[in-house]
Structure 1
Amino acid sequence: MDSESKMVHYLEDKYGEKFVVEHKKEGSVLFPEMYGKDKIYAYPEGKPELIFEAGESSSKEKQYYDDYIPAIWGDELTKSLQGSLKESLPRRAFIKSMLTLQEVNIIWK
């Protein structure tokens, strides 16, 4: 199984839904800790607005990481602010919120 398939399998097991890979970026073979390992840009089936990054972790404690939850929060923030921002911004402005977090520890039950 290649790294892309393993990451998709990780996401589907973790969240219980199907994901579509939009792009894969191969990491460094010689210096993965310095330049990063493989990563993908994916979204849940039918929801391309929730695109996020997932990849092989450089950490010894965990094998993979993903930004799916911040992508969901960013989409919710965009939707909640859209009305008030439309009043303040020019008519043709494009609005999208993106959240980045240092570390998220969420327990899934």
Structure 2
Amino acid sequence: MKDVKKWGIYLICPISCFYILPMLIRDTGSAMFILLGAVPILCFANGLYYGVKENKAVMYSLLVGILFLPTIYLFYNSSAIVYTVIFALLSFAGAMIGKGIRWQKR
């Protein structure tokens, strides 16, 4: 239960990115900006912050990918399923870089 509460704090950013930002989509240009610009940057930055603070990067990245799956059917179409892997990998890369930063601080 303690891990769920701890992960919940770090998963607020991806959840808000995945479920609130798509509501701002008005046309194809804004959809591409959000899907290819804003969300990947925020996933990477949040993964970086998570990596500096916590240790379970693989589990966190899997949760980020799983959290994106419902948005495919809510806001996008089935061609957006590839972004599940992309966002999970970006959060994993950020978390690993964050772990490296934390390791260097010691």
Relative to its length, the structure with more strand (as a share) is: 1
TM-score (structure 1 length as normaliser): 0.33
Q: Which protein has the larger Cα radius of gyration, Structure 1 or Structure 2?
A: 1
Q: TM-score, normalised by structure 2?
A: 0.34
- The answer to which structure, 1 or 2, has the higher relative contact order (CA under 8 A, 6+ apart) is 2
Q: Which has the higher helix share?
A: 2
